[in-house]
Structure 1
Amino acid sequence: MLVVEFNNFGEVPLREVVNMQHMGKSKGRPILIAAGLIVLMVAISVGLIIRQAQARYQSAIYTGNSQRVDITKPLSILLLGVDTGADGRIDKGNSDTIMVVTINPKTKKTVITSIPRDSLAEMVGDQKTNVQKLNAAYNIGGSAMAKASVSKLLNIPINYYATLNMGGLKQIVNAVGGVTITSPIDSNFDGVSISKGTHHLNGKEALSYSRMRYQDPRGDYGRQLRQQQVMRAVLVKLTKTGTYSRYNQLLASLKGNLKTDLSFNDLVGLATHDRANLKGIKSTQIVGQPAWINTSSYQILSTSTLQSASDQLRQELGLKSAKISNMETKLNAQNTAYDGKTNLNYNTDGLDTITYTDGTH
């Protein structure tokens, strides 16, 4: 499990802090999904969101499908980056970023755990037993299926969710006046070229920098670290007095791009009660091994990987460890010949359909 700490807000280098334990590779779209909520919490906590913003938030962002947050207890939020481009749609599309954020008011810790989008997982809530890539859950059954599928995969409760599309990333960066990053590599993606070195990026450039993968020698590992770097850069800007006037613009940028079942009052409570959590955010990656299923490439999370991730997340939530047992562990037990190295063939007994509602995968 890779751990990245966001403790120093004065500088935003790209670096790996410590390699806690090996779990394989992970994929994901911009970690600004987390920033979408964290940014609002920071803004509210310093009293810079005017009262009129509540009505705008409730009507444009809040889905109204959750119970009131108990700010004295640990909670989890499922963050989904939806692959719908920059056109403002978030009702369809696969969730190409999948993260679980745990907030523990007792330990003052906030941890962001990234899950590979191509992880083999059961679509919990489907009418028939169905295993597909985890990123299909949102497309098939919306936030409810995504929450249920991640919950079953890792044996943890998922209390809330938030979805953000790619247009949201670009607008958030523009709303804070751009971000300054130091790129460790040359990047060229979607018509935007960024050379190795320090640059001030606008929203379009930050989106390109966050999405580029194939030119990075670390592949998805490198992309995920760059996404975390952009998030940290946004938080740096929000701590500077000169950007305080941009909070209304920021809230406007989230309209049509962000949906969540955390109400405005919930965010106020989290911001005022748990502001200390924002001073030391940690990020971890769950990673698996490659496999081929019906000519499609998957990531397989071994039973030991699932158990380790579950134990860590449950600890963050103040829960006791529990033996994980689900469709994934059952299939792992049946695939004794698969090793993710010399043998990449993985048998799902025909349970996978590899058919998404928009015809993509």
Structure 2
Amino acid sequence: MKEKKKKRTWLRVIGIVVLFIVLGAGAYAYSIYKSLTNAAETMHHPIDRKMSEKRVEEITLEKQEPFSVLMLGVDEREDDRGRSDSIIVLTINSNQNSVKMLSIPRDTRTEIVGYGKEDKINHAYAFGGIEMAMATVENFLDIPIDYYIQINMEGFKDIVDAVGGITVNNDFDFSYGGVHFPKGEITLNGDKALLFSRMRHEDPRGDAGRQLRQRQIIQAIIKEGASLSSLTNYNQVFNALGNNIKTNLNFNEMVEIQKNYRAAAKKVDQISIEGKGTKIDRIYYLIVPDEEKQRVQDELKGHLEIK
């Protein structure tokens, strides 16, 4: 049971960001375009959800308006929807050429919108799929959630390997799953990146330390995906993305994001939300104080230019 709970990673959109960057490179034009469109078609999973109530007007990517993405890492199992045990919200602002990346602890207690009770935020996906997860995160942060990207957590290993591995700066020396991760700059393949992102109990920071490592992996994949050398591997990259990612972004929207927001990926600000652990009816929850929630809401609203 513990091992199942540790299967929570990160990775959610990075693959998409890789797509945007590769799109702009232009090499092997037709072959890349064909592989890319096939992958985008496979990944595209529209949802039955109208425009967010927190939006006055639909987002227009052509106008370079700030937008948000909910990234979910899901442990998919046969005959079981699974739970979104990695929850990351990205806000992207082309005017400031920056991205804000927020990890939401999976044990955060909040209202599950459409379910009629408070529970752990990661249960929203299990109860009502991506639509309920989006509505619940939207309510918790009081911002519109415009798009989602869902990643099969086991499959993210293929994405890391497809971009040739990643390099991260590890701030905490530890061993996990039979692998030693020394402090300092380390290079990871897909299997090691999965272990690196799972470890939690050995870290005195607990889930906060694991969230930091997840965000490091995301940024490292963005960096590797931006390298022209990854183009030699584009078929493997696109196959890994198509097999492991679902998103309501369609191909045209991906093109617009690459064209209008590409520079924003160069500046990623990581933010976190703090709370206090407690047990209610013998179940562990993270309780986020109202003032802390307000602080994070204000930062994200400012980045989305919401008045």
How far residue 275 of structure 1 moved from its aligned partner, in angstroms, is 1.2
Residue 41 of structure 1 is matched in structure 2 by: 20
Change (3 A) 1:45 1:154: same
Distance 1:216 1:232 in 2: 21
Matches within 5 A, 1:268-279: 268-279=255-266
Matches within 5 A, 1:269-308: 269-308=256-295
Residue-by-residue CA offset, 1:75-131 (whole Å, 9 max, x unaligned) = 1111111133xx7x79711111111111122222211111111111111122xx211
Residue 137 of structure 1 is matched in structure 2 by: 124
Residue 38 of structure 2 is matched in structure 1 by: 56
Change (3 A) 1:246 1:91: farther
How far residue 217 of structure 1 moved from its aligned partner, in angstroms, is 2.7
Partner SS, residue 98 of structure 1? strand
Q: Is the contact between residue 288 and residue 299 of structure 1 (CA under 8 Å) also seen in structure 2?
A: yes
Residue 19 of structure 1 is matched in structure 2 by: none
Q: Is the contact between residue 69 and residue 266 of structure 1 (CA under 8 Å) also seen in structure 2?
A: no
Matches within 5 A, 1:329-340: none
Matches within 5 A, 1:68-79: 70-71=60-61, 72=63, 73-79=65-71
Distance 1:31 1:40 in 2: 17
How far residue 54 of structure 1 moved from its aligned partner, in angstroms, is 4.5
Distance 2:179 2:259 in 1: 39
Residue 147 of structure 1 is matched in structure 2 by: 134
Change (3 A) 1:254 1:171: same
The one-letter code sitting in structure 2 at the alignment partner of 1:272 is: K
Tell me whether 243-252 or 295-304 shows the greater mean CA deviation: 243-252
Distance 1:248 1:273 in 2: 25
Q: What's the TM-score, normalizing by structure 2? A: 0.86
Q: Is the contact between residue 119 and residue 133 of structure 1 (CA under 8 Å) also seen in structure 2?
A: yes
**Cα RMSD over matched residues?**
2.4
How far residue 261 of structure 1 moved from its aligned partner, in angstroms, is 0.2
The one-letter code sitting in structure 1 at the alignment partner of 2:107 is: D
How far residue 291 of structure 1 moved from its aligned partner, in angstroms, is 1.6
Residue 222 of structure 2 is matched in structure 1 by: 235
Matches within 5 A, 1:1-361: 29-48=8-27, 50-65=32-47, 70-71=60-61, 72=63, 73-84=65-76, 92-126=81-115, 129-320=116-307
Distance 2:228 2:39 in 1: 23
Q: Is the contact between residue 39 and residue 235 of structure 1 (CA under 8 Å) also seen in structure 2?
A: yes
Change (3 A) 1:90 1:135: farther
Change (3 A) 1:185 1:319: closer
Q: Is the contact between residue 100 and residue 114 of structure 1 (CA under 8 Å) also seen in structure 2?
A: yes
Residue-by-residue CA offset, 1:274-319 (whole Å, 9 max, x unaligned) = 1110111111111211121110100111111122221111111111
Residue 3 of structure 2 is matched in structure 1 by: none
Q: Is the contact between residue 29 and residue 227 of structure 1 (CA under 8 Å) also seen in structure 2?
A: no
How far residue 45 of structure 1 moved from its aligned partner, in angstroms, is 2.4
Residue-by-residue CA offset, 1:23-67 (whole Å, 9 max, x unaligned) = xxxx99433213122222222222357221344234321013378
Distance 2:229 2:97 in 1: 28
Distance 1:318 1:69 in 2: 12
Distance 2:91 2:187 in 1: 31
Change (3 A) 1:185 1:119: closer
Q: Is the contact between residue 122 and residue 130 of structure 1 (CA under 8 Å) also seen in structure 2?
A: yes
Residue-by-residue CA offset, 1:233-276 (whole Å, 9 max, x unaligned) = 32332343332212221110022311100111111100111111
The one-letter code sitting in structure 1 at the alignment partner of 2:138 is: S
The one-letter code sitting in structure 1 at the alignment partner of 2:288 is: L
> Which of structures 1 and 2 has the bigger CA Rg?
1
Change (3 A) 1:244 1:229: same
Q: Is the contact between residue 28 and residue 116 of structure 1 (CA under 8 Å) also seen in structure 2?
A: no
What number of residue pairs does the alignment pair up?
289
Q: Which runs of 5+ in 1 are unaligned?
A: 1-26, 321-361
Q: Is the contact between residue 187 and residue 209 of structure 1 (CA under 8 Å) also seen in structure 2?
A: no
Q: What's the TM-score, normalizing by structure 1? A: 0.74
